[in-house]
Amino acid sequence: MSYNLGIDTVADNISLAIEGNGSSILEESFTVNDTVSHELINIINQFLKSIQIELHDITGLAICIGPGNYGPLRAGISIAQGLALARNLLIAPINRLEADAWPFIQSAQNQQSVIAVHDAGRLGLAWGAYSKDNKNGPPVVIVPASITNIEECAKSAPPNSLWCGELSNESIKTLQHLGYSSDIDPLKNINTRAKSMLELASVQQSYQDPSRVEALYLQPPRINR
């Protein structure tokens, strides 16, 4: 039996998920004590060992390409590409915001838009708006992923949308002040991001040559010399 492995490193914790024959088997989150670059391979090995699956049984990888924290994001992509090139695997690059919106898109009623967000610190708010495809296809992009301030996000967002993702308490208060209340659903996850990534990879049919996979930056990364 062959398996696909989902790897998400863009937030504070690593999430992994595995599927076989299109069905999810297990998903799990791991705390990073040092850095993703030092710990990811060991975490993957630990995860696979716990479900008695060998690395050579993996035939495809789904990797989160961002937006997210520069260091963990780059480390996750580089390690996934290394594994893929060493073992002749395909990689599905998955947008973080689409993965966060995906479970809510599936449960949304009447084509309700879903806005996925995450705080990008001093850069502002990273967000995108999506809705369900009525033919059970990939999410329909209503507003492409971008970074703006929270006021601009609220102004440009489709009305009566469901909000989800990772928000600070300050951002939640600002959105509520701007008129959003019950439709804000921060930090509520139906599944781990890695599980959603595997589902999206299948729906989008996005497995490809690992050398073509690049990080998604909504603004150029700031790297100190």
Beta strands in 167-204 (DSSP E): 184-186
- Evaluated on CA atoms 169, 172, 177, 183, the torsion sign reads negative
For residues 189 and 8, the answer to whether their CB atoms sit within 8 Å is no
The pLDDT, as a whole number, for residue 223 is 55
Structural domains in the chain, sorted by start: 3-95+192-212 (3.30.420.40), 97-186 (3.30.420)
CB atoms within 10 A of CB 25: 13
Q: How far apart are CA 159 and CA 86, in angstroms?
A: 47
Q: How far apart are CA 46 and CA 53, in angstroms?
A: 10
For residues 164 and 115, the answer to whether their CB atoms sit within 8 Å is yes
Successive 10-residue mean pLDDT values, the chain, 225 residues? 93 90 84 91 95 93 94 94 95 96 82 86 89 86 93 87 82 78 54 89 95 89 53
Q: How far apart are CA 181 and CA 175, in angstroms?
A: 8
As a dihedral over the C-alpha atoms of residue 62, residue 10, residue 187, residue 144, rounded to 10 degrees, the angle is -80
The pLDDT, as a whole number, for residue 16 is 96
Q: Residue 89 has which token pair? A: 């695997």
**Residue 90, beta-bridge partner list:** 60
Q: How far apart are CA 67 and CA 95, in angstroms?
A: 7
The pLDDT, as a whole number, for residue 224 is 47
> Length of the chain in residues, anyone?
225
Q: How far apart are CA 208 and CA 178, in angstroms?
A: 42
Provide CB contacts within 8 A for 87, sequence distance 6+. Answer: 55, 56, 58
Strands 162-166 and 114-119: parallel
pTM reported for the whole predicted model: 0.90
Closest C-alpha among 176, 82, 178, 175 to residue 127: 175
Name residue, tokens 């999430």: 15
The pLDDT, as a whole number, for residue 172 is 78
Which DSSP symbol is given to 205? T
